Structure 1
Amino acid sequence: MIDKVLGDIDADLDNSLSRLFDWLRIPSISTDPAHAGDCRRAAEWIRGDLEAMGFEASVRETSFHPVVLGHLPKPGAPHVLFYGHYDVQPVDPLDQWDAPPFEPSLDEVEPGRKVIRARGACDDKGQVMTFLEACRAWKATEGGIPVGITVLIEGAEENGSKGLPEWLAANKDALKADYALVCDTGMWDRETPLVTTSLRGLVYREIKVRCADRDLHSGSFGGGARNPIHVVAKIIADLHDETGRVTIPGFYEGVRETPADILEQWRSLDLSPEKFLGQVGLNQPAGESDRMLIEQIQSRPTCDANGIVGGYTGIGSKTVIAGEASAKISFRLVGDQDPQKISDAFDAFVAARIPADCSVEITRYGTSRAIQLPFDMPALATAKAALTEEWGREAVMIGAGGSIPIVGDFKSTLGLDTVLIGFGLDDDRVHSPNEKYDLSSFLKGTRSWARILGALGGKTA
């Protein structure tokens, strides 16, 4: 059975690429109001594709760009919610593209390696289509898909999923499932598949410290007047101790220790500083000194200064003591860390370091909780086995260092755990000029989803 499905995927590759290229040609840039019509066109395109496969599909309105909802139930079988997005990032700077970003092409970048080149090729249209093409192959060869499926494709992921959380809350009954599936992540390397088992949460703050009521002449006031740049710099410096640990009281409350057997698996991956940091011109890990690099970047919480501004930053010199200075600070959270508690603790940490004759304004931006799947979750084991069978290498189970806030909404609003599987690569240039998606990622990604759907539905022979 599965061999017939896989054979159909291989034989239909040219048609699959043609469908993907049609979708990629639509410049569905969600952040640019000028492309609102294109976003709707992209939604209508995927609605039509779902209907052609037998889904009951519709375009649903939100407070921003519409979502596409498709249903194909299978009574008595598990039911999954598949999520992806049709919107893409802006293409600037356009002059750095080797070809027009919405004219997709199949390019050979080295002998035996071809890539799909276009904006959205990887993030996320190409990834979405790996799942849909697997569904199409099951329908074509067996007349049906082994599990019931609800498809949710949104149009504002690149704009913070604007309008989607409210839409989820208002449409819970239409989104009932046993768990969710997401294809918007990556592989360990070109030959090794990966199941993402956790996502870090996020707290983002901006602090603005004001001292004097204006910029001051440093010759007249230097040594006497408080310098807000010094105050901000001291706050940032105090956030970590000499071992790399965050010093905010209570920060590590809710951080879980990773099971020993999982740590051993990560250790065997041999992620060296030279390999990971060397690609950006570094070689020394800067996180908690008693943790492996692989822990530092995906399973441990972090604190980073994302920007600092104050005083004169133009060309040449201007000897002033600034009247104000600001910094943007972000925290990546893991386990059961509470974003609200972290926010409150940070505010108190900052307030304690503000001199009596100065003031601070703290702006709170978005927050999201971390997602940690149970390592013994049956769907994870099923997906890992199917990926291992397809790629001929044991699939890696590891967390992602970034955040996908909507996955948190799936848990908090819909009560669903999410299995994250993707086929992107580190060199796919996502959000950059010349975005691409390896042809092997597309083809074997489709074959992988076919195996996963079969395994989830008990049809693996």
Structure 2
Amino acid sequence: MSVDAVLNQVDADLDNAMNRLMELLRIQSISTDPAYKPEVAKAAEWLVKDLQSIGFKAEIRPTTGHPMVVARHEGAGPHLLFYGHYDVQPVDPLALWNTPPFEPQIEDTAKGKVIRGRGASDDKGQLMTFIEACRAYKAATGTLPGNITIFFEGEEESGSPSLVPFMKDNAAELTADLALICDTGMVSPGVPTIAGSLRGMLKEEFTLKGPRIDLHSGFYGGPALNPLREISKLIASLHDETGRVAVDGFYEGVSEVPAEQLAMWKTCGFDEAAYLGGVGMTKAHGEEGYSTLEQQWSRPTVEINGLWGGYQGAGSKTVIPAEAHCKITCRLVGDMDPVDVRAKLRAHLEARVPQDAEIHWDSSLDGAKAAFMDTSRPEFEKARLALTDEWDREAVITGMGGSIPIAGYFKDILGMDAMLIGFANEDDAIHSPNEKYDVTSFHKGIRSWVRILDRLNG
């Protein structure tokens, strides 16, 4: 049967598909808050029932944390594993939501219709594009499309503590010819995108301790060491005036982007003014000498995510605090080793701790290397052509500034490559109030997976 019949089924069933997504979005599957554990389980149960209804052998797999969902359909063609996550971020600050986060609705905006609600883009709307593509295949052809395993996680937004043990324990079942991940976005609205690389991540947190107790600034202001002042010096020492990280050896393992890759990035449809202007900026503030896309996709960073200490309440309190605190994350590229980067970062800061101060590190935080996809595999070109057909615009293979550890786990634990294709947009406000997913992204995302599955099984 022609793929057009399946695409027609997608179009005819779009309203029902939207209703199913709305039903899933109403489930408050916040994985990081124990109070929502029953809701996370409810979302897993909902997905299992939905997958079973279209012919998958699906079941809930318990872990020491939130459950996994695993579904299987044996068929002809390459074995494809599709990964997504059904848990969502907390909704705080609730007061900034214009509509209740778990009462999803369709809104008309200046850019078109959007689905508004927590998880609409990250990742429920995205994973449902694949399920709906399979549903359309089943309705139009009487069978599911090929040889497919579906693997949904319930802890992605809370650090995935059960993921690696589960993958190791179930490696034989989960290993496929290729993994498909739909937790990414498009480089620009309407530009279909395949991510060819992901930056890695290193997390750090430290406390700078000074006086034995908080001090009265009238008695000790002047002679006392102030941890807030000293921590600001430490933070300022991490970068030079050009935005380059000033930690010795930090750039070991970083390589320049090949000229042909840069040429592709320049014509990928990225709108720098819209990207920066959408968040209130007029210029890129990263490492000088590199374009905005290079800064985002191919350069490592040291970012200060939190900095605090002393009195935080209303009014004034004349105190010199006993300690100050800092949270840092590093985005890693190339062959940068998070263990090596951690050692160099700590050595840099420890060498600059003043007399009468001590630095204490949080030893529980982790790191992951950058991930690179083998874009020379024929599946990437098949998917790129399928996306080009659907969006009527040349699909591009790009880098990605974010970190998705699952892509590296697939390679390291299961020995399989991954292909990352998503339909989110930069303005989807994932992790923020008023999260949304464009109806066009949802509709054409379903149609895109239909075309991709057709090409991969052809």
Query: Please, what TM-score do these two structures have when normalized by structure 2?
Result: 0.93
Check 1:286–1:103 CA distance in 2 against 1; reply closer, same or farther (3 A cut): closer
Check 1:227–1:90 CA distance in 2 against 1; reply closer, same or farther (3 A cut): closer
Contact 1:240–1:246, Cα closer than 8 Å, also in 2: yes
1:303 aligned partner = 302
More displaced, 307-316 or 405-414?
A: 307-316
1:377 aligned partner = 377
1:163 aligned partner = 162
1:2 aligned partner = 3
Contact 1:161–1:406, Cα closer than 8 Å, also in 2: no
1:418 aligned partner = 418
1:394 aligned partner = 394
1:25 aligned partner = 26
Check 1:110–1:271 CA distance in 2 against 1; reply closer, same or farther (3 A cut): closer
SS of 1:385's equivalent? Answer: helix
SS of 2:362's equivalent? Answer: strand
The residue type equivalent to 1:124 in the other structure is D
2:48 aligned partner = 47
The residue type equivalent to 1:35 in the other structure is Y
Check 1:263–1:394 CA distance in 2 against 1; reply closer, same or farther (3 A cut): same
Shift in Å, 1:2: 1.3
Q: Deviations over 1:392-424 (max 9, x none)?
A: 111232222121222222222112222111111
* Equivalent-residue separation in structure 1 for 2:433 and 2:381 (angstroms): 36
* Equivalent-residue separation in structure 2 for 1:307 and 1:238 (angstroms): 16
1:355 aligned partner = 354
* Equivalent-residue separation in structure 2 for 1:273 and 1:78 (angstroms): 39
Contact 1:124–1:184, Cα closer than 8 Å, also in 2: yes
- Identity value in percent: 50
* Equivalent-residue separation in structure 1 for 2:309 and 2:41 (angstroms): 42
Contact 1:410–1:417, Cα closer than 8 Å, also in 2: yes
The residue type equivalent to 1:125 in the other structure is K
Q: Deviations over 1:203-241 (max 9, x none)?
A: 111121223223344455455443333332222112112
* Equivalent-residue separation in structure 1 for 2:228 and 2:287 (angstroms): 27
The residue type equivalent to 2:171 in the other structure is K
Check 1:98–1:291 CA distance in 2 against 1; reply closer, same or farther (3 A cut): closer
Check 1:171–1:270 CA distance in 2 against 1; reply closer, same or farther (3 A cut): closer
Contact 1:79–1:178, Cα closer than 8 Å, also in 2: yes
Unaligned runs of 5+ in 1: none
Q: Deviations over 1:345-382 (max 9, x none)?
A: 11111221123432211114221221122342332222
SS of 1:195's equivalent? Answer: strand
Contact 1:202–1:367, Cα closer than 8 Å, also in 2: yes
Superposition pairs of residues 30-179 of structure 1, within 5 angstroms: 30-75=31-76, 77-110=77-110, 113-179=112-178
Contact 1:231–1:353, Cα closer than 8 Å, also in 2: no
Check 1:355–1:86 CA distance in 2 against 1; reply closer, same or farther (3 A cut): same
Q: Deviations over 1:257-288 (max 9, x none)?
A: 21211101212347565432222222232222
* Equivalent-residue separation in structure 1 for 2:47 and 2:317 (angstroms): 56
Check 1:94–1:286 CA distance in 2 against 1; reply closer, same or farther (3 A cut): closer
Check 1:217–1:116 CA distance in 2 against 1; reply closer, same or farther (3 A cut): closer
Q: Deviations over 1:113-169 (max 9, x none)?
A: 322233222221111111011112222223434431110111122222231221111
Shift in Å, 1:289: 0.7
1:449 aligned partner = 449
* Equivalent-residue separation in structure 1 for 2:50 and 2:313 (angstroms): 53
Question: Within the alignment, does 1:215 sit opposite 2:211 as a pair?
Answer: no
SS of 2:63's equivalent? Answer: coil
Shift in Å, 1:290: 1.2
* Equivalent-residue separation in structure 1 for 2:176 and 2:65 (angstroms): 25
SS of 2:240's equivalent? Answer: coil
Unaligned runs of 5+ in 2: none
Check 1:296–1:110 CA distance in 2 against 1; reply closer, same or farther (3 A cut): closer
Check 1:326–1:433 CA distance in 2 against 1; reply closer, same or farther (3 A cut): closer
- What number of residue pairs does the alignment pair up? 456
2:288 aligned partner = 289
The residue type equivalent to 1:363 in the other structure is D
Shift in Å, 1:448: 0.3
Contact 1:199–1:401, Cα closer than 8 Å, also in 2: yes
Check 1:211–1:120 CA distance in 2 against 1; reply closer, same or farther (3 A cut): closer
1:258 aligned partner = 257
Shift in Å, 1:31: 2.5
Contact 1:273–1:285, Cα closer than 8 Å, also in 2: no
